[in-house]
Structure 1
Amino acid sequence: MATPGTPRPIDARGWQFEVQDLSASTETWLRIGLLTSFSHNPGENEETEETTSFDSDGFFEQDVMQRGASLSIESKYAADKTGKRDPGQAYIDDVWAYRLGVDSRNPVRWRHRSQTSWVVWDATVTPGEQGGGTTEKTSWSATITRCGKPTSVPVTPPPAGGGS
């Protein structure tokens, strides 16, 4: 039995992912719903330069020249009976995924429900494949690639009337 205060593994289902709706007149974050899995790759797009020289005495040396990261999120394609999509999925598919050049960037944030701050990225998105078989629900996925240095902001309670 673990003693109180002993670190324990956290549930994967406790992670929350949101995308900022840049078309809204006020700061609006949209939850990405019905996630079934995610993968955070903090070494994605890392670039190194070998610095081994005769002075290295036969030991390898390198410098990191570029840091990168990505999030792969998977879900079920979500819509209600009227066809209204999950707000986060719909924004990614219908708004963000079609933007190019400098407009292709969009803020995203994510955290575990036990954490008191959000990790915030300026990022690009690559939509994933959608599909399914006869007895399956339709899949949905996206890969979010960080651009620049990550930041963090404290979790604040949602305003009266909902939102995040």
Structure 2
Amino acid sequence: MAGNTRPIDARGWIFEVQDLSATDETWLPIAGLTTFGHNPGENEETADTTAFESEGHYEEDVMQRGASLTLEGQYRVDKTSRAQDPGQAYVDTDWAQRLGIDSRNPIRWRHQTQTQWVVWDATCTPGEQGGGTNEKTTWSVTVRRSGPASSAVVTG
């Protein structure tokens, strides 16, 4: 029934980062997002398997899979305390500052219509911030999956 299917709104996507410094499992929503990009082919590596018997046709095997998310939006602060949004602040001041074996952190995402989270162990690269005279300050981060994705049921 194609007549019953409808495209989903991009604004319905939810992205959360796990606060590893919390004593209990704590997920922080990342606020202020205005756009995102999911690249399921990021960091993919292939091996050329073309041989004489391929009869002139290219052949390959995928040797490595990867994926990335780019999250972009507006730098957000609380009107009263002037503190940065907790999700953005965790990315900027905690996760993005870690190196080596400490550089990974869980992130999860889903559309509001979905009943399962996509969960990644990932690394991140903070994006540029900026703005002009009559603009809001931008905020962004690029997240790259490390290892396979997993899933978790939406609770609560």
Q: Normalization by structure 1: what TM-score?
A: 0.92
Aligned to 2:48: 50
Q: What SS does the corresponding residue of 2:46 show, helix, strand or coil?
A: strand
Where in structure 2 are the equivalents of 1:56-95 lying within 5 Å?
A: 56-81=54-79, 82-95=81-94
Aligned to 1:28: 26
Q: Which runs of 5+ in 1 are unaligned?
A: 158-164
- How far apart in 2 are the matches of 1:117 and 1:9? 19
Deviant stretches of 4+, over 4 Å: none
- How far apart in 2 are the matches of 1:51 and 1:104? 35
Q: What SS does the corresponding residue of 1:102 show, helix, strand or coil?
A: helix
- How far apart in 1 are the matches of 2:100 and 2:2? 51
Q: Which runs of 5+ in 2 are unaligned?
A: none
Q: What is the root-mean-square deviation of aligned Cα atoms in Å?
A: 1.1
Q: What SS does the corresponding residue of 1:142 show, helix, strand or coil?
A: strand
% of aligned pairs identical? 66
Aligned to 1:151: 150
- What is the CA-CA distance between 1:5 and the residue it aligns to? 7.0
- How far apart in 2 are the matches of 1:141 and 1:128? 5
- How far apart in 1 are the matches of 2:97 and 2:2? 49
- How far apart in 2 are the matches of 1:7 and 1:126? 36
- How far apart in 1 are the matches of 2:58 and 2:82? 57
Aligned to 1:132: 131
- What is the CA-CA distance between 1:4 and the residue it aligns to? 8.0
Aligned AA (2:75): Y
- What is the CA-CA distance between 1:7 and the residue it aligns to? 2.2
Is residue 10 of structure 2 the alignment partner of residue 12 of structure 1? yes
Aligned AA (1:131): G
**CA distances 1:126-160 after superposition (whole Å, capped 9, x unpaired):** 00000000000000000000000000010001xxx
Aligned to 1:110: 109
- How far apart in 1 are the matches of 2:3 and 2:107? 31
Aligned to 1:40: 38
- How far apart in 1 are the matches of 2:134 and 2:26? 36
